[in-house]
Amino acid sequence: MTTFGGIRGLSQSMLRSGVSRGLTAAATIRTLAAEGLTYRRTDMLADFREWAQVPVKTDRVKAVRKDYRPSRELFIDTTGKQLRAFRYQVTVDIYNPESKERLKYTTNVTSDKQMTIGEVEAEALEPIKRSTEAYKSEITGYHVEAAFHKADMVWD
């Protein structure tokens, strides 16, 4: 029987492997879950960020005005698989009045050039609005959670 410490040790070696292959945290955690090697998600994400050397800068992006672009200091430099220079993570709160269910949906917007927060939100909300109309749900809130820049690509 494997102890909790043993599972965490095995998981951390697989986390390091996922980081070195350029996998996202979500993809790595899904792989670990399929193997039965999971522990508390917040701890796994903290371990992933530590191994990937991803600083926590997410809350600061929320304060940027919609007609402004985030400053370079607010971007998290990434070295993983990201095809375009910029990626923005957007969280959308959705409410379904029929089932009384509240959902949090996270999506990403990618771009070759830096975008304003308003442009990012408009791009992210367009497909979500179509699906909420189809399922008779409502968007109750949204915000840009984080901004990423691929480390080897130039700034515009």
Question: DSSP secondary-structure letter at 73?
Answer: G
Q: Are 5 and 15 in contact (CB under 8 A)?
A: no
Instruction: Determine if the pTM surpasses 0.75.
Output: no
β-pair partners for 95: 102, 138
110 three-class SS: strand
For 129-136, the CB contacts below 8 A with 24+ separation are 132/94, 135/96, 136/96, 136/97, 136/98
* Angle, helix 25-34 to helix 4-20, in steps of 10 degrees: 140
Give me the pLDDT at residue 39, please.
79
pLDDT along the chain (156 residues), means of 10: 63 79 80 83 78 64 90 84 89 92 91 95 93 89 91 77
5-33: pLDDT as tens digits: 577 778 888 887 877 777 778 888 888 88
